[in-house]
Amino acid sequence: MSLPDTLIGAPLRLFDSLTRGLRDFAPIDPAMVRLYSCGPTVYNFAHLGNLRAYVFTDTLRRTLNWKGYAVNHVINITDVGHLTSDADAGADKMEAAAASTGRSIWDIAAFYTTAFKSDLSALGIREPTVWSVATQHVQDMIAFARAIEARGATYELDSGLYFDTSTVPDYGRLAGARPDDTVGRIAEVEGKRNPADFAVWRRSPADEQRQMEWLSPWGPGAPGWHLECSVMSMKYLGEQFDIHTGGIDHREIHHCNEIAQNQAFTGSGHSGANFWMHNNFLVDRSGKMSKSRGGFTTLASLVTRGVPALAYRMLCLTAHYRGELEFSPEAIAAALTRLKRIAIAVERLKGQTEPAAWRRVLAEAGDSRGASLAYQRGIIEDGLSAKALAVLTEFDAAMANDLGTPAALPLLEAAIADKKIPADERLRLVGSMDLVLGLDLIAGDRRALSVRPEGATLDDDAVEALIAERQAVRAARDFAASDALRDRLDAAGIEIMDGDPLRWEWRPQLGE
Ligand SMILES: Nc1ncnc2c1ncn2[C@@H]1O[C@H](COP(=O)(O)OP(=O)(O)OP(=O)(O)O)[C@@H](O)[C@H]1O
Ligand SMILES: [Zn+2]
């Protein structure tokens, strides 16, 4: 048996927002890729747009693992500091949520953190190595802020400690901004030296106590949002790590500010990360999906309409992460159909082969939390013919090309359908590719893709009874009665699939 311990394959090329181009990826420490992803602000449920950011990060992480790299992945939980406006104005999103619901911030944070983690799990997104919670790192943030203050990178105003963006080289390079560019910035805070200067520490107003505040050399208050990510990325991953990810909105301000702080802290021109990667937006007809805009679509709202979570993962994979992706009922329905077709074909392959030991590897791979998957891949791919291996080579090249999931999916579909490759080998190919795609194609079953919409009027037993009745009248050649039953089932949102082992399934209720 061949058990490779390194499996790099096609050189991985990733788009770096700082240089605005594709670059070959090479880890700083070959033994461990260090990856930081800006996490959710836990004041509400994540919307599908937020979740796109984590499907992207997970695809990156899985691709790195698939190629043989071990990954130390940190995702933060922002439970303090993120304001309703990027221009350092407005309330803390957490404080505002607490004020409008009458619940404590801590309750809100705990509730939405749990909801977020369960969304990730439903989407097959692997847990990071470390979840770093902002409020658990405030002392680290104060120490960091003191250090950059000592280096002369900050100044104090009544409202707190501010970062002087003129003290670092190339401020705003990530955003592609010119030095005098003040796009998106309004000097709403009186006394700022430069419009782009931002709060490192927000002092509580004298007449107001915030629910979340800490003592600091600049008075009681709370850390700025940008400070969190500089501090937690550095704490867990070092002053220079491999990849920092976030949504494209972070490219303009949040990440520029993180970079400025990192440069002030280390005294070097280095941004902190070797690659800055950003996913583009999920949009709907009226623009960027956002919590702030209201009326947003959550993963749970899809599931209650009868759409399994993995259909949304599939939708994300159909688009390149750097392109906008439009969410619509038609688009999610098409993604679900595509996923079902694949699952049906995989089910057939499973029926043609003996359950083999390699399948266990897939379950265990999910638990290996960032460890290299080279060993597991060796087991799954053991004994593959040259033709099957050629498919993997192509798949690897598609993914190595800046995570080309839209090109990789048709390779999966073609491999499943390729009768020249024996069924067992095709199933192994699916297993290997699914380490990257995360669609739960081997352990999961096609039945799991049929979800009862909350608005359904029948339960499973009632459906089974009607179907049995229909079979009985058909056997008696009473086709009129059979058609009437079929119409009744159809009106109740059930699709009958004569000749399909599943026999029937729920139709998603995606009407507006
Ligand atoms: N419509 C979207 N499409 C893709 N990614 C998004 C979208 N909206 C936010 N993100 C990303 O989701 C991640 C989590 O963001 P966070 O929880 O802080 O959301 P937020 O900024 O409060 O949301 P909103 O902008 O909806 O108010 C970030 O990486 C952010 O860039
Ligand atoms: Zn961040």
Domain ranges of the chain: 12-283, 299-447, 456-506
d(CA 24, CA 402): 10
pLDDT over 80 at 37, yes or no: yes
Task: Answer with the residue of higher pLDDT: 506 or 369.
Answer: 506
pLDDT over 60 at 371, yes or no: no
pLDDT tier, 512 (very low <50, low <70, confident <90, very high otherwise): low
d(CA 478, CA 495): 20
Q: Out of 27-31, 113-117, 133-137, 335-339, which region has the weakest mean confidence (pLDDT)?
A: 27-31
Residue range 109-133: average pLDDT?
A: 96
In eight-state DSSP terms, residue 507 is: P
pLDDT over 50 at 4, yes or no: no
Residue range 336-347: average pLDDT?
A: 96
Which ligand is the nearest neighbour of the Cα of 224? Answer: 2
Nearest Cα residue to atom 14 of ligand 1: 40
Report whether 36 contacts 272 (CB < 8 A): no
Res 31: pLDDT: 86
291 is in an annotated binding site: yes
What's the mean pLDDT when you consider all of the chain?
91
Q: Give the atom of ligand 1 at the shortest distance from the alpha carbon of 93.
A: 22
**What's the distance, CA 229 to chain centroid?**
17
pLDDT over 60 at 97, yes or no: yes
pTM of the model as a whole: 0.94
**Residue keyed to tokens 């009985």:** 472
pLDDT over 80 at 193, yes or no: yes
Res 178: pLDDT: 57
Any ligand 1 atom below 6 A from CB of 55? no
The answer as to CATH 3.40.50.620 being correct for domain 12-283 is yes
- Tokens coding 204: 């509580």
pLDDT over 90 at 119, yes or no: yes
364 is in an annotated binding site: no
Count of CB atoms situated within 10 Å of the CB of 390? 13
Any ligand 1 atom below 6 A from CB of 249? yes
Res 80: pLDDT: 85
CA of 309 to the centre of ligand 1 (A): 19
**What percent of the chain shows pLDDT beyond 90?**
76
d(CA 464, CA 219): 67
Residue range 480-499: average pLDDT?
A: 92
Q: Classify 238 in phi/psi space as left (phi over 0), alpha (psi -120 to 50) or beta.
A: left
Res 511: pLDDT: 78
pLDDT tier, 5 (very low <50, low <70, confident <90, very high otherwise): low
pLDDT tier, 181 (very low <50, low <70, confident <90, very high otherwise): low
Q: Does the ipTM surpass 0.90?
A: yes
Among 44, 79, 249, say which to mutate for ligand 1: greatest number of ligand atoms within 8 Å of CB.
249
Count of CB atoms situated within 10 Å of the CB of 495? 14
Res 183: pLDDT: 46
pLDDT over 80 at 67, yes or no: yes
Give the architecture (CATH level 2) of 299-447.
Answer: Orthogonal Bundle (1.10)
Any ligand 1 atom below 6 A from CB of 52? yes
- Strands 130-133 and 71-77 turn out to be parallel
Res 184: pLDDT: 47
Residue range 308-337: average pLDDT?
A: 97
